């Protein structure tokens, strides 16, 4: 399997939106895709057409000792996904103790799924430092960091760079990281200035800028991604360009160790 971790230094940057749209775009490109929601907010299912009444997911499976495979579902988007699931606070703490006690927790559970070698696993991680993020970075072949075109997000770039450097650099099978600048507003000079600063700072690591587009929010209201929802939207075109970069990177790496 090829593992992509979607990360962000802080919440509210559209990380799950990016993760879901990349999943759908990669599936449309012919890839076998599994979306794994490691964020306790359990929001990825909203984007991928999951059953909103279903409380199951990897968290409940882990706490209950049942196989992850049993928690895998297919959303209306056609993408197979592993929701985080809904658990109470006691069970969430129990789950996080499992992660802290077993550095190979995530790797072991993914291996148990016996996925095909070419399957792309896209992991949506919680914002900021966490055990979920640490384990995701520890096994990812590719990391995509999501940031906004604003001063607050720009200030968090050193933190996410530090986390990636700490858990990824020099590891066998690690192929690098890239950034997507989300919700850029071409009508606001401040937003344009922020995009310029991010590009100057990160250079070729910025693989795309996704412009602010009401079609993205509208798609979510229908439980869909904008890639599926509006073929003429600017946001869709931006996201497809980002997915194209990821797809090209995946084509070029062949079989990679983990």
Sheet containing 142-148: which strands, arranged edge to edge?
Answer: 73-74, 80-82, 33-37, 120-124, 2-7, 142-148, 177-184, 206-211
CB 31 within 8 A of CB 69: no
CA 252/CA 169 separation, integer angstroms: 20
Is the confidence at residue 35, as pLDDT, over 90? yes
Entry pTM: 0.94
Nearest to 199 by CA among 179, 227, 172: 179
Q: Which CATH architecture fits 2-251? A: 3-Layer(aba) Sandwich (3.40)
CA 75/CA 77 separation, integer angstroms: 5
Q: Could you state, in order of their start, the residue ranges of all structural domains in the chain?
A: 2-251
Is the confidence at residue 3, as pLDDT, over 80? yes
Q: What is the pLDDT of residues 113-166, one digit of tens each?
A: 999 999 999 999 999 999 999 999 999 999 999 999 898 898 999 999 999 999
CB 191 within 8 A of CB 150: yes
Q: Give the residue-averaged pLDDT of 206-228.
A: 91
Is the confidence at residue 97, as pLDDT, over 90? yes
Burial label, 234 (beta-carbon count in 10 A; 0-12, 13-18, 19+):
middle
Nearest to 28 by CA among 247, 256, 253: 247
Q: What is the pLDDT of residue 158?
A: 94
């Amino acid at each position: 399997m090829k593992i992509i971790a979607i990360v962000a230094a802080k919440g509210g940057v559209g990380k799950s939106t990016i993760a879901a749209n990349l999943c759908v775009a990669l599936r449309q490109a012919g890839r076998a895709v599994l979306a794994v929601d490691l964020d306790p907010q359990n929001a990825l299912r909203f984007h991928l057409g999951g059953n909103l009444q279903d409380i199951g997911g990897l968290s409940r499976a882990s706490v209950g000792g049942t196989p992850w495979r049993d928690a895998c579902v297919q959303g209306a988007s056609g993408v197979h996904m592993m929701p985080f699931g809904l658990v109470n606070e006691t069970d969430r703490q129990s789950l996080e103790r499992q992660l802290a006690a077993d550095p190979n927790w995530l790797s072991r559970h993914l291996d148990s799924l016996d996925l095909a070698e070419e399957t792309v696993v896209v992991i949506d991680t919680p914002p900021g430092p966490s055990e979920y993020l640490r384990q995701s970075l520890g096994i990812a072949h590719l990391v995509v960091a999501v940031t906004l075109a604003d001063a607050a997000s720009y200030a968090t770039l050193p933190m996410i760079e530090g986390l990636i450097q700490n858990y990824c650099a020099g590891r066998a099978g690690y192929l690098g990281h890239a950034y997507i600048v989300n919700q850029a507003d071409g009508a606001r000079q401040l937003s344009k200035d922020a995009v310029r600063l991010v590009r100057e700072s990160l250079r070729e690591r910025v693989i795309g800028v996704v412009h602010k587009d009401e079609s993205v929010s509208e798609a979510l209201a229908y439980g869909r991604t904008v890639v599926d929802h509006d073929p003429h939207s600017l946001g869709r075109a931006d996201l497809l360009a980002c997915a194209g970069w990821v797809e090209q990177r995946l084509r070029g790496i062949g079989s990679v160790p983990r």
